[in-house]
Amino acid sequence: MQKTVQLYEGKAKKVFATENPDYVIVSYKDDATALDGLKKGTIGGKGVINNRMSNFLMQLLEKEGVPTHYVEELSDRETVVRKVTILPLEVIIRNISAGHFAQRYGVEEGIVFDSPTIEFSYKNDDLHDPLLNAYHAIALRLATREEIELVKSLAFRVNDILKAYFKGIGVTLVDFKLEFGKTSDGRIVLADEISPDTCRFWDAKTGEKLDKDRFRRDMGGVEDAYNEMKRRVLGEQ
């Protein structure tokens, strides 16, 4: 499959058209942003790690019956995915308090919830991705009631599958963000990426952070953390 024209350039990825109108090619960059775009930088090798890790996890989810956009890995940084219209909702699942949850509700990080939480935010950079509930999303016609119900059940299934998978490689899945898209034939599939950019991963034994929080919080060891996750998931240095 060949790239034709560039359709879009986002913060961490570029998207290209192909000869097939149902497929696009995603190309992962090393660029990183955080704190609502205020913090910018690069994380060496991140594009390769996120592309390969995300593809591995999407295939794992497909095997478990979760529909995804994944089609074929083309190279270290490039993947063919189904062309979708992204629902303008970020879907966040949390197993343990961290990040904005801890800030918003004035609690410490690390509280293990009895059951996972779900929240939505409106994907809109100008409005800084405001938090909204299902009623707001329906009122704003961002998705239908049926789509929201489907997205909710898929997101919790993804959590069950990923939590168990990461536990097996000594990693605690703290929280993560998912995006869903609609194909030309109207199916809802999991899209975007699953990577240390979009998940919080803590080492199960030491609690060490193995994700983008090291970049957000200027903790150092950012590349090492991404490489450690690559080693655990893909079994390589």
Q: For residues 114-153, which are near ligand UDP according to CB under 6 A?
A: 129
Instruction: Single out the residue of 69, 177, 209, 214 in contact with ligand UDP (rule: CB under 6 A).
Output: 177
Q: Does 212 bind ligand UDP (CB under 6 A)?
A: yes
What part of residues 7-66 is at the interface with ligand UDP (CB under 6 A)? Answer: none
Minimum CB–partner distance for residue 20 and ligand UDP (Å) = 29
Minimal distance, residue 156 CB to ligand UDP, in Å: 15
Quick one: CA torsion of 167, 172, 176, 180, rounded to 10 degrees? Answer: 0
Shortest CB 22 distance to ligand UDP, Å: 26
Is residue 200 a contact residue for ligand UDP (CB under 6 A)? Answer: yes
Give the binding range for ligand UDP (CB under 6 A) out of 75-83, 158-166, 173-181, 221-229.
173-181
The residue whose two tokens read 């489907």 is: 150
CB of 3 to ligand UDP, least distance (A): 25
Q: Are 18 and 3 in contact (CB under 8 A)?
A: yes
Q: Which residues contact 26 (CB under 8 A, 6 or more apart)?
A: 13, 14, 15, 16, 51, 78, 79, 81
Q: Print the binding letters for residues 91-110 with ligand UDP: x by CB under 6 A, - otherwise.
A: -x-----xxxx---------
Comparison of 3 and 57: residue with beta carbon closer to ligand UDP: 57
| 121 phi, psi to nearest 5 deg | -130, 155
Regarding 193 and contact with ligand UDP (CB under 6 A), the answer is: no
Q: How far is the CB of 199 from ligand UDP (least distance, A)?
A: 5
**Contact predicate 192/179, CB 8 Å:** yes
Nearest residue (CB) to ligand UDP, 23 versus 56: 56
Number of residues that bind ligand UDP (CB under 6 A): 14
Provide the binding-site residues for ligand UDP, judged by CB under 6 A: 90, 92, 98-101, 129, 175-177, 198-200, 212
